[in-house]
A and B are shown apart, each in its own frame.
Chain A
Amino acid sequence: MNDGMDELYRDIILDHYRNPRNSGSIEGDSVIIIEEFNPLCGDKIIVYLHSLSGELIDDIKFIGEGCSISQSSASIMTDLVIGKKIEHAKQIVQQFHTFITGGNIDEDDNSLGDIDAFKGVRKFPARIKCAGLAWNSLDKAIDSMKKLT
């Protein structure tokens, strides 16, 4: 049966949904906190971004509430950018958006990790917003950090 469900709900997505990585909050004055909603369904992601130097993502966590797509995406996102350079993370965000809206990315690029798990989402326009929620938060967090430094 090919109704896209196996592709949408890949094992890796369900795994991140059930066992989210980097879930929780980070305390501290220098932590950037960005909250994103999907007004359509009330899904919510709060991203906590910590960078001492302003160059490296020292730590990133999230708290969220929502569907398997939005929550697994947050988990995969944090896993992917933790320890990376801010500029690199910004590029990954862009790559993610290119990918999710149907564009091509370099699938051999190891730093894009599990992004291709979201391939199945591309067929379901209503769910692209879910997948993008955490990435939008990260994008905004990076921008507001740049403003500070």
Chain B
Amino acid sequence: MSLESKKLLDRTTQIRSDFPILDRKINGKRLAYLDNAASSQKPMQVISKINDLYSNYYANVHRGVHSLSMESTEAYESVREKVAKFINAGNINEIIFTKGTTDSINLFAQSWAKNNLKKGDRIVLSEIEHHANLVPWFMLRDEIGIELAFIPVLDDYTLDIEAAKKIINSNTRLVSISHISNSLGTIVPIKDIIDLAHHNNAIVLIDGAQSIPHQNMNVIDLDIDVLVFSAHKMLGPTGVGILWAKMDILKQCEPVIGGGDMISKVTFDGALWNDIPFRFEAGTPNIAGVIGFGEAIDYLNEINYIDLCNQSHVISEYTRNLLEEMEFVEILGPKDKLLRTSLFSFDIKNIHPHDVAQILDSEGVAVRAGHHCAQPTLNKFGFSSTVRASFYFYNNFEDANQLIESLQIVKKRFLQ
């Protein structure tokens, strides 16, 4: 082991002490938390931040002139700036707080697509999308008669870019795809897709729910038009997400939810919209959630999360390699290492994923079993569900080995 990676490992040990939950015992065993793609755990810093808010400076935001309201408004609004920096957005007013990725996509479908697309216009999706990037578009299709087309997934679990060249055509107004598939772990070459879309004057929405927690995202360099992601998968609280879009696009959006905070003036005859982004954020927002998310971003920056995520990718690959040697395990996902992220889905012949996950849980290993909200994708590969192990930077080799050893216990119970 190089000195470099030794140092990173020591760093992981140190980082783990920031996450109180990692000390928990599950059924008397040490916890190996490998369900990070579903949601990440939270460091003390984020938990304390929320505690601090409620203990010392909480009040509603954008309302009163009193001190508490000003302090909480300042803390809340400062997060917009942190998020903008994190994704290298040029204008902090392009950051819209939502409830999560799902909410962001629904909002964009109803506020932009519904008002700017007409019958016969095409939206291109892919065959490896999360339900959150399918169902809102099905609903819109049924509402206004747009056409949906799908970039196929190939047998090697990657997208068929050759086919995409035909599917993204001159009728296409929007391409909405995930950067990383949460069920297969495939990394999508979004730059190629963005080029194809822009060549056809279509805009691109990137679902960054699985990628942004792990890597640097630069919306300007990549020339992304719309980006959505969730705070809870990157150390933040639940109930907070981001919809970022270029200002020109936000100007074409109509508000979907009306109420307080989103207006500049209301009479009994009607209302004038507040400025962007506030016109998309009606009602009292998730103040504590957003402020907690700001702390999560600070934490990620402070620990230099990208280096640490590279290390956890090594651990994910190590685990995957060991699994590959187990003849009773079948792993889904790209063969090419460079095309996959720190998660993998697998199947054990003749043992249902539910049963696998149950026995793993009895050994302290937390994994996801099911269709991962990507039913059509799994069905295409002949599965109705799989087991999924997903890693984050606080995972270590002990977690990996605990999974491997526990799989032997699964095998013993069911296959012998």
Contact = CB atoms under 8 A, between A and B. Distances in A.
B352 interface: yes
Nearest to B375: A42
B375 A8 contact: no
Interface string A8-23: 1100001000000000
Interface in B98-147: none
A44 B362 contact: no
Given A5-B413, A9-B413, A41 B354 contact: yes
B355 A4 contact: no
List the 3 closest A-B pairs by CB distance, nearest first.
A67-B354, A67-B352, A3-B362
A41 B355 CA distance: 11
B353 interface: yes
Nearest to B379: A42
Interface residues of B, number: 19
B94 to A, nearest CB: 36
B270 interface: no
Interface in B391-416: 413-414
B388 to A, nearest CB: 12
Contact of A42 (B27, B28, B371): B371
B370 A40 contact: yes
Given A41-B385, A68-B355, A4 B370 contact: no
8 contacts: A9-B355, A9-B413, A40-B370, A41-B369, A42-B371, A42-B375, A68-B355, A127-B354
Given A14-B414, A41-B385, A65-B384, A127 B358 contact: yes
Interface in A105-136: 124, 127, 130
A69 B354 CA distance: 9
A104 to B, nearest CB: 26
Contacts of B28: 3
A81 B378 CA distance: 35
A124 B358 contact: yes
A9 B384 CA distance: 22
Nearest to A66: B352
A66 B375 CA distance: 14
A41 to B, nearest CB: 4
Given A5-B359, A66-B354, A68-B352, A42 B414 contact: no
A44 B379 CA distance: 13
A44 B384 contact: yes
Contacts of B359: 5
A44 B352 CA distance: 12
A58 interface: no
Nearest to A40: B370
Interface in B312-337: none
Interface string B350-373: 011111001100100000011100
A44 B385 CA distance: 11
